[in-house]
């Protein structure tokens, strides 16, 4: 179905090829997972399958890509549209209509599908992706996760034989992600569709894969058995990390497999004192003592010369009776919350629950129907831009909203100048989060994860007392996520207030002190992170599910418990 024959892709001005000598074969009816670090070449590999490389993205392609017998060198993406459906990381960039139902129907109209068949396929796609209740909604009024589901529904409805997805679950809540993956599983097993996807949240997808392709620095493996691939893959989910720690052979890929292997470990842990509900707060608040010279660059020299000047736990931001409408939808209803100095709060909930709205209200971007918002005792909506940036900073889901220069280096230099930082401050933060990124590269040519890391670095350089992050790990691999966790812990240790709107339960387990769960714009849960997520069917991380009912959240939790104190 898909054949790569010694395929290499090189872009002008790059020191190494994006792909180098890729040779592989994918059969019909396979679900293939493409795994690799941020910027390794995964997106280039996917874009070769439908001809976006080289016909749209440019670059020099050598070798041959055959898809259903068609050579992508002579068949442009439109010539492959009946065969290959492609779902990009940023769904809004691919939408061409205004409403959900119109977007799902558009691709079929372009392919000349019979109107009766089109109606049936629209209904099927709405049901499969759980979108029937928003069918008439404007696309721009949807949450990021809902937009992602619309993009997948539009591609599935067109009836391709091959479905290519780039980070399909990155913006979805855990339940919605499972629904989407279950739908893809049915398409593969019941209809013989071939699915190729790249995904960083391997804990969600690795157990669904028939085969795995490993990509690193442009080098591409042949198709590997998933368990075999996870033995050596530098990118792997917590269940594999736990299996490696405990020397399980073969490595488990699912929670169910791991629970069967973990009965003896659970008995051993049950005999130990339970972990405290304030972890990982203890490690976060002690991070400053161990950060030394590696602490986060501080931004403006007068912004925080010795921490924030606020006592740990002192109220920094608050909402009182906050009610916000977005169009005809009441996104938040009478929300009362306080956020303390040195505290990392995760805001969770299903797609459309009001998480992004809460963050936008905290930064003063949205009008309020009722209630108050205060940051450092002031209404952020009434602050001058410079004062607002010093008080509160928001990294939105779409990092492009913060990027406007023609190179990554120019973005970093501009942020340094805007915030009065020492030259190189923003670039150092970017390198710390994402690893080396060529300064001459245009932001639009970065991977999704690298663009997000650049936006994070820009906001972090500003040294805002309150840092708001909307889906901050979207597009980040596990190594980049671990580096981000270190940065957030250091900020909290210095007294900054961090609020994360996220579906990434593994991130929450690693870094959050507290979890607030929203549903339909209302607060339904607010408590210590370990207490809230350890026993939650929807929000528990993999290790918590494996060790349940013992409230261990991470592989590090287990490692510390099993390692005698020296």
Taking the C-alpha atoms of residue 307 and residue 496, their distance in angstroms, rounded to an integer, is 8
Better pLDDT: 515 or 130: 515
Phi, psi of 427 (to 5 degrees): -60, -40
* The pLDDT value given to residue 517: 96
Confidence of residue 309 (pLDDT cuts 50, 70, 90): low
Say if residue 373's pLDDT is above 80.
Answer: yes
Least confident of 309-313, 486-490, 524-528: 309-313
Nearest C-alpha neighbor of 363 from the set 329, 328, 330, 402: 402
Average pLDDT (473-478) is 84
> From residue 356, how far is each of 20, 83, 294 by CA, in Å?
40, 36, 31
Query: In terms of Cα–Cα distance, which of 501, 462, 508 is closest to 481?
Result: 508
Distance CA 209, CA 207 (A): 6
The model's pLDDT over 81-106, given as tens digits with 9 standing for 90+, comes to 889 999 987 788 889 999 999 999 99
Q: Please say whether the beta carbons of 154 and 148 come within 8 A.
A: no
Instruction: Report the percentage of the chain scoring pLDDT > 90.
Output: 64
d(CA 222, CA 10): 20
Residues 57 and 428: their CA atoms lie apart, in Å, by: 29
- Answer whether residue 501 shows pLDDT above 90: yes
Name the DSSP letter for residue 77: G
Q: Is the pLDDT of residue 294 over 80?
A: no
What is the pLDDT, as a whole number, of residue 262? 95
Q: What pLDDT was estimated at residue 288?
A: 36
Give 250-287 pLDDT, tens digit per residue: 999 999 999 999 999 999 999 998 776 444 443 433 33
Q: Is the pLDDT of residue 75 over 80?
A: yes
Lowest-pLDDT range of 202-216, 219-233, 332-346, 443-457: 443-457
306 has a pLDDT exceeding 70: no
Higher confidence at residue 474 or residue 298?
Answer: 474
The chain-wide mean pLDDT, for the chain, equals 88
* Distance between CA atoms of residues 167 and 471, nearest Å: 13
Instruction: Please name the residue that has the structure tokens 């679950």.
Output: 169
CB 171 within 8 A of CB 147: yes
What pTM, to 2 d.p., does this model score? Answer: 0.83
Max CA separation in the chain (angstroms):
72
Residue 37 pLDDT exceeds 90: no
User: What is the structure's pLDDT at 89?
Assistant: 77
Whether 401 has a pLDDT exceeding 60, the answer reads yes
Half-sphere exposure of 354 (CA within 13 A, CB side): 24
Domains of the chain: 2-235 (3.40.50.300), 281-292+314-533 (3.40.50.300)
- Cα–Cα distance for residue pair 549/539, rounded to 1 Å: 14
* DSSP classification of residue 224: B
CA-based radius of gyration for the chain: 23
pLDDT of residue 312: 63
Q: Write the CB contacts of 498 (distance below 8 Å, at least 6 apart in sequence).
A: 343, 344, 345, 466, 467, 469, 488, 491, 492
Which pLDDT does position 311 carry in this prediction?
61
pLDDT at position 307 = 52
Average pLDDT over residues 286-296: 37
pLDDT value, residue 301? 34
Cβ-proximal residues to 357 (8 Å cutoff; 6+ apart), any chain: 324, 326, 331, 332, 366, 521
Separation CA 517–CA 348 (nearest Å): 5
Residue 171, pLDDT > 80, answer no
Q: In what order do the strands lie in the sheet with 344-348?
A: 392-395, 466-470, 497-501, 344-348, 514-519, 522-528
Mean pLDDT of 413-423: 92
Tokens of 225: 């058995």
Q: Is the pLDDT of residue 510 over 60?
A: yes
The confidence score (pLDDT) of residue 136 equals: 93
CA dihedral of residues 549, 553, 557, 558 (deg, nearest 10): 50
pLDDT band at residue 310, thresholds of 50, 70 and 90? Answer: low
Is residue 133 packed enough to be buried (19+ CB in 10 Å), middle (13-18) or exposed (0-12)? exposed
Least confident range from 30-44, 285-299, 450-464: namely: 285-299
Average pLDDT over residues 336-352: 94
Average pLDDT rounded to a whole number, residues 406-425: 93
Provide CB contacts within 8 A for 486, sequence distance 6+: 287
Mean pLDDT of 455-473: 91
- What average pLDDT does the segment 195-220 reach? 94
Quick one: pLDDT band at residue 62, thresholds 50, 70, 90?
A: very high
Run of H or E residues at 531: helix 529-533
**pLDDT band, very low/low/confident/very high, at 495 (cuts 50, 70, 90):** very high
Q: What confidence score (pLDDT) does residue 2 get?
A: 96
Terminal CA-CA length for the chain: 56
Segment 545-560 mean pLDDT: 93
């Amino acid at each position: 179905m898909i054949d790569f024959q010694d395929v290499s892709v090189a872009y002008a001005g790059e020191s190494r090829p994006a792909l180098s000598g890729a040779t592989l074969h994918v059969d019909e009816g396979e679900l293939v997972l493409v795994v690799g670090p941020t910027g390794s070449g995964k997106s280039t590999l996917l874009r070769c399958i439908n001809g976006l490389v080289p016909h749209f993205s440019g670059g020099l392609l050598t070798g041959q890509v055959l898809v259903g017998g068609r050579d992508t060198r002579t068949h442009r993406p439109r010539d492959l549209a009946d065969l290959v459906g492609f779902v990009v990381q940023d769904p809004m960039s691919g939408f061409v209509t205004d409403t959900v139902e119109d977007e799902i129907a558009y691709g079929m109209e372009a392919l000349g599908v019979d109107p009766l068949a089109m109606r049936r396929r629209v209904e099927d796609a709405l049901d499969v992706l759980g979108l029937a209740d928003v069918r008439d909604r404007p696309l721009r009024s949807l949450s990021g996760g809902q937009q992602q589901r619309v993009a997948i529904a539009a591609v599935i409805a067109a009836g391709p034989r091959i479905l290519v997805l780039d980070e399909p679950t990155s913006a979805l809540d855990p339940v919605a992600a499972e629904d989407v993956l279950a739908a893809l599983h049915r398409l593969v097993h019941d209809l013989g569709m071939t699915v190729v996807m790249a995904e960083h949240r391997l804990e969600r997808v690795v157990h669904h894969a028939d085969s795995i392709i490993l990509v690193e620095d442009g080098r591409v493996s042949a198709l590997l058995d998933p368990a075999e691939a996870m033995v050596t893959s530098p990118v792997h989910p917590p269940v594999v990390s736990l299996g490696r720690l405990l020397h399980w052979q073969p490595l488990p890929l699912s929670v169910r497999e791991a629970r069967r292997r973990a009965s003896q470990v659970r008995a051993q842990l049950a005999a130990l004192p339970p972990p405290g509900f304030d972890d990982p707060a203890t490690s976060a608040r002690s991070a400053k003592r161990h950060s030394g010279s590696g602490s986060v660059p501080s931004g403006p020299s007068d912004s925080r010369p010795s921490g924030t000047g606020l006592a740990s736990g002192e109220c920094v931001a608050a909402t009182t009776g906050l009610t916000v409408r977005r169009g005809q939808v009441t996104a938040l209803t009478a929300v009362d919350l306080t956020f303390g100095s040195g505290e990392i709060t995760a805001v969770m909930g299903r797609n459309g629950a009001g998480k992004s709205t809460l963050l936008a209200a905290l930064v003063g971007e949205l009008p309020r129907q009722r209630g108050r918002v205060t940051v450092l005792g002031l209404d952020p909506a009434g602050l001058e831009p410079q004062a607002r940036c010093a008080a509160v900073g928001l990294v939105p889901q779409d990092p492009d909203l913060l990027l406007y220069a023609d190179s990554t280096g120019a973005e970093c230099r501009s942020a340094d100048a805007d915030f009065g930082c020492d030259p190189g401050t923003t670039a150092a933060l970017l390198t710390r989060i994402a690893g080396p990124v060529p300064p001459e590269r245009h932001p639009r040519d970065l991977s999704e994860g690298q663009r997000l890391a650049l936006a994070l670095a820009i906001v972090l350089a500003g040294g805002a007392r309150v840092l708001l992050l909307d889906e901050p790990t979207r597009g980040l691999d596990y190594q980049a996520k671990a580096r981000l966790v270190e940065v957030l812990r250091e900020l909290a240790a210095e007294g900054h207030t961090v609020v994360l709107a996220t579906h990434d339960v593994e991130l929450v387990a690693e870094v959050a002190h507290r979890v607030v769960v929203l549903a339909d714009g209302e607060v339904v849960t607010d408590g210590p992170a370990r207490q809230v997520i350890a026993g939650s069917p929807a929000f528990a991380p993999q290790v918590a599910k494996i060790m349940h009912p013992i409230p261990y959240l991470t592989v590090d939790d287990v490692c510390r418990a099993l390692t005698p104190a020296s």
